[in-house]
Amino acid sequence: MGLKPENIQYLIVHHTATARDTTTFEAVKRYHVSKGWGDIGYHYFITADGKVWPGRSEDTVGAHASASSMNYKSLGICLTGNFMNEFPTYEQLQSLHDLLLKLMEKYNININNVLGHREVPKAATACPGDHLMEWISKFRQEKSEVKKSPDVAKAIEHIEQALNILKGL
């Protein structure tokens, strides 16, 4: 079953709950395929070095957040690590930040719809771990404050207009 762009309303962030520095994309994909999922359950996968691995295509329903039928209205992003007892690397957080902004713009996703897996209604999980959940909360707060500030919003608008003019030259 396909995932239509207009149905993508959420970005759900996960952790592997395994060792950050030794977990590989290939190992997680093999595990998910062995469960009969046909592919890795996530749409994007970020390793400790910050490399973003494409998982399922964005038009394919995920296998990452079944609670509240979230697989049918979200994209799943997973970072390697157990963020209950270790921290994401700077590289992971930078890649996650950039990916979230890109996907939010592409699908017009509201900042409040960027969720840690545990925030999905009816999801009984500690995922994505306390340390990554703290970062996600700060990300939402930071982006909300920027949008609320008329001075910053106006400055961003002027910068975007200038960039569009430069692109046309």
Name the residue ranges covered by the structural domains of the chain: 5-168
Residue 169 scores a pLDDT above 60: no
- In which band, very low, low, confident or very high, does the pLDDT at 156 lie, cut at 50, 70 and 90? low
pLDDT band at 2 (very low <50, low <70, confident <90, very high): confident
Q: Which amino acid is it at 96?
A: L
pLDDT band, very low/low/confident/very high, at 147 (cuts 50, 70, 90) = low
Average of pLDDT values for 52-63?
96
DSSP for residue 64: S
The pLDDT assigned to 158 comes to: 58
The burial class, CB within 10 Å (0-12 / 13-18 / 19+), for 157 is: exposed
- pLDDT given at position 126: 96
What secondary structure does DSSP assign to 75-143, as a single string? EEEEESS-TTTS---HHHHHHHHHHHHHHHHHHT--GGGEEEGGGSTT----TT-HHHHHHHHHHHHHH
pLDDT at 159: 65
What's residue 39's pLDDT?
A: 95
d(CA 66, CA 56): 16
pLDDT at residue 11 greater than cutoff 80: yes
The pLDDT value given to residue 143: 79
Question: What's the pTM?
Answer: 0.85
- Measured between alpha carbons, how far is 65 from 10 in angstroms, rounded to an integer? 11
* pLDDT band at 154; cut points 50, 70, 90: low
Question: With bands split at pLDDT 50, 70 and 90, how would you rate the model's confidence at 137?
Answer: very high
Quick one: pLDDT at residue 152? 58
CATH 2.40.160.10 fits 5-168, yes or no: no
**Of 113, 99, 130, 101, the residue nearest 70 (C-alpha):** 113
